[in-house]
């Protein structure tokens, strides 16, 4: 019999249906992946098992854990199960821990509550489990507070809380989405080992097929609250019989057609061109150290360390690296939004460093930006017509109202939106459409360079594929050069000619995208490539295992 058996589960919040007749099971010692795009209802499924749903939620159907129906269980009974027989790991490690309690207290709390053990016993167990998840007491004493740990370390604490009492079922809701690829690989390894050691069942919730292909024994694909397909992972993902499965798989390894064709012809070496569009020389950025007392500061942190590179007109260059490696700081300096401590940035042969805002206008006109968050990159109180035309402020001669509207409509047409969008507010658009608006704003002044900071990492895979197509098309048609900042190597592979690998403020490797990613030389690049989840590689591995 299965450890967890969900039968015909439906759920609505208020009047909004979320789940519609879900069936799902997890056996002991098995990893079951629940995959879907945002809004598919995967997190709500997890919260139903935990019985931690919002107040307005109404469910029907059965959730059998060990034969007992949790949907009708009392709160007292659930309290004895949660944290003891069922553990849960959440997506956002930065907010999942109580900032006012030490990590020791937070892990020990559940142990003491469930086992009624003494403080000393509980602390002993806490020490052991923290050591097991990779936080040995010598380096991470129990008296540490969450803010003294990094995101990856905090996620280990959350895993320790969930696994402290060796639960039979572990639910992990996007446990690595907020972490960079290297940390992701480490945390996934840890989860896999813990599952094997304790013969736990793991319900792994993820949007990432590559992660799932590598981890899960079986897989359930969810869309709009319905199960599309389920079965053995290798079988489901290699056969791709269901059209939605196929769509997901293709989107997650999508390469725009224009680029696929161009990549075959592209043999240019990324030598520094004679007349680069952008050239960066010995760029350094220090942030002042933490204030230790009224008069003393700690040593400054060097976010960007002696970086030099150049970008030729029309080239698409990726900047990849782990989180905190300095790539966003570098991008901001290129955009003249942050002042370098030392070094020089030249754009079209003119230096940008040390210029006053008024003198930067012509450069800004030809250099625009697209951000990651399609929700945060617009003023929610402005209509599209106004926000898309914001960069027109940079023109020498202010255009008339009619001209502005015309230019805005043209820019919207470039990104595949109609002129009816002009009078709407940003919240009336979906995430993908908003990213199109963001791109329309960036290209309205016909810039020669667009700096894009993680422009697709907040999007679902199918939307991401469309936006990547759009980027590729604008590059081919308008000759816009890109500096593409991303942590996702598949994105770099999909639309860039060259790649630069950054580590601890320095650029450690640079070359043609395919060459670097297929045959990385530096440690940093090798680490990134081997940690990056890859659907094809994972599937091949699985099929090999099964013979």
Binding residues for another protein (CB under 8 A):
50, 52, 55-56, 75-76, 78-84, 87-88, 90, 92, 95-101, 106, 109-110, 113-114, 145, 147-148, 158, 161-162, 290-294, 332, 335, 337, 357, 360-361, 364-365, 367-369, 371-373, 376-382, 387, 390-391, 393-394, 438, 441
All residues at 6 or more sequence positions from 36 whose CB lies less than 8 Å from its CB, including other chains: 42, 207, 221, 222, 223
- Taking the CA of residue 360 as centre, how many other CA atoms within 13 Å lie in the half-sphere pointing to its CB? 18
> In terms of CB distance, is 21 or 289 closer to another protein?
289
Shortest CB 70 distance to another protein, Å: 13
Q: Using an 8 Å Cβ cutoff, are 300 and 286 in contact? A: yes
User: Parallel, antiparallel, or unpaired for β 86-89 and 506-512?
Assistant: unpaired
Shortest CB 247 distance to another protein, Å: 30
> In terms of CB distance, is 351 or 379 closer to another protein?
379
Q: What are the respective helix, strand and coil percentages of the chain, to the nearest 5?
A: 40, 25, 35
Shortest CB 44 distance to another protein, Å: 13
* 5/169 Cα distance (integer angstroms): 12
> In terms of CB distance, is 378 or 429 closer to another protein?
378
Cα radius of gyration (the chain): 25
> In terms of CB distance, is 359 or 423 closer to another protein?
359
> In terms of CB distance, is 101 or 302 closer to another protein?
101
> In terms of CB distance, is 246 or 291 closer to another protein?
291
Specify the long-range contacts of residues 241-247, CB closer than 8 Å, at least 24 apart. 245/221, 247/462
Shortest CB 265 distance to another protein, Å: 33
b vs e for 79-112, b when ≥16 Cβ sit within 10 Å of the residue's Cβ?
eebbbbbbbbbbbebeebbeeeebbbbbbbbbbb
* 205/32 Cα distance (integer angstroms): 8
Query: What SS3 state is found at 501?
Result: strand
> In terms of CB distance, is 3 or 524 closer to another protein?
3
> In terms of CB distance, is 459 or 507 closer to another protein?
459
Residue 25: how many CB atoms within 10 A of its CB?
A: 19
Termini Cα distance of the chain: 27
> In terms of CB distance, is 122 or 227 closer to another protein?
122
Picking from 510, 148, 459, the residue whose alpha carbon sits closest to that of residue 321 is 510
Picking from 503, 457, 445, the residue whose alpha carbon sits closest to that of residue 484 is 457
* 149/220 Cα distance (integer angstroms): 34
> In terms of CB distance, is 41 or 374 closer to another protein?
374
Q: Hunting for tokens 């907020």 — which residue is that? A: 178
Shortest CB 68 distance to another protein, Å: 16
> In terms of CB distance, is 124 or 373 closer to another protein?
373
Q: Using an 8 Å Cβ cutoff, are 309 and 288 in contact? A: no
Give whole-number Cα distances, 260 to 98, 256, 257, 486, in Å.
48, 6, 5, 20
* 203/267 Cα distance (integer angstroms): 45
């Amino acid at each position: 019999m299965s450890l967890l058996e969900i039968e015909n589960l439906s759920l609505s919040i208020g009047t909004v249906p979320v789940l519609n007749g879900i069936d799902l099971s997890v056996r002991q010692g098995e990893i079951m992946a629940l995959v879907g795009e945002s809004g598919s209802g995967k997190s709500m499924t997890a919260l139903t098992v935990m019985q931690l749903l919002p107040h307005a939620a109404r469910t029907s159907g059965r959730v059998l854990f060990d034969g007992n129906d949790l949907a009708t269980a009392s709160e007292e009974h659930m309290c004895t199960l949660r944290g003891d027989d069922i553990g849960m790991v959440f997506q956002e490690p930065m907010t999942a821990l109580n900032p006012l309690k030490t990590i020791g207290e937070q892990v020990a709390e559940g142990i003491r509550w469930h086992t009624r053990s003494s403080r000393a016993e509980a602390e002993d167990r806490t020490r052991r489990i923290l050591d097991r998840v990779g936080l040995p007491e010598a380096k991470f004493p129990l008296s540490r507070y969450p803010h003294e740990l990094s995101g990856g370390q905090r996620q280990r604490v959350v895993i320790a809380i969930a696994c402290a009492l060796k639960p039979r079922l572990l639910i992990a809701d996007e446990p690595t989405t907020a972490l960079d690829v290297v940390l992701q690989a480490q945390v996934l390894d840890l989860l896999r080992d813990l599952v094997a050691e304790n013969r736990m069942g793991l319900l792994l919730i993820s949007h990432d097929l590559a992660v799932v292909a590598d981890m899960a024994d079986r897989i359930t694909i969810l869309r709009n609250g319905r199960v599309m397909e389920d079965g053995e992972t290798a079988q489901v993902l290699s056969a791709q019989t269901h059209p939605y499965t196929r769509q997901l798989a293709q989107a997650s390894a999508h390469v725009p057609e224009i680029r696929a064709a161009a990549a075959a012809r592209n043999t240019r070496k990324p030598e520094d061109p004679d007349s680069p569009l952008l050239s960066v020389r010995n760029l350094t950025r220090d942030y002042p150290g933490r204030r230790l007392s009224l008069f003393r500061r700690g040593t400054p942190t060097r976010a960007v360390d002696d970086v030099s590179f150049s970008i030729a007109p029309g080239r698409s260059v990726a900047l990849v690296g782990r989180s905190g490696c300095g790539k966003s700081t570098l991008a901001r300096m290129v955009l003249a939004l942050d002042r370098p401590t030392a070094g020089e940035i030249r754009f079209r042969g003119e230096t940008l460093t040390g210029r006053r805002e008024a003198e930067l206008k012509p450069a800004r006109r030809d250099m625009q930006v697209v951000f990651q968050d399609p929700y945060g990159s617009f003023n929610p109180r402005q209509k599209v017509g106004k926000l898309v035309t914001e960069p027109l402020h940079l023109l020498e001669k202010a255009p008339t109202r009619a001209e502005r509207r015309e230019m805005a409509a043209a820019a919207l047409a470039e990104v595949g939106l109609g002129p009816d969008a002009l009078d709407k507010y940003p919240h009336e658009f979906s995430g993908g459409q908003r990213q199109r608006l963001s791109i329309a704003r960036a290209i309205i002044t016909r810039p020669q360079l667009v700096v894009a900071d993680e422009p697709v990492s907040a999007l679902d895979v199918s939307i991401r594929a469309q936006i990547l197509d759009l980027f590729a098309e604008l590059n081919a048609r308008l000759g816009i050069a890109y500096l593409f900042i991303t942590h996702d190597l598949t994105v770099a592979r999909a639309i860039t000619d060259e790649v630069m690998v950054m580590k601890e403020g320095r650029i450690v490797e640079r070359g043609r995208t395919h060459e670097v990613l297929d045959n990385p030389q530096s440690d940093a690049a090798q680490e990134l490539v081997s940690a990056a989840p890859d659907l094809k590689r994972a599937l091949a591995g699985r099929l090999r295992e099964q013979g």
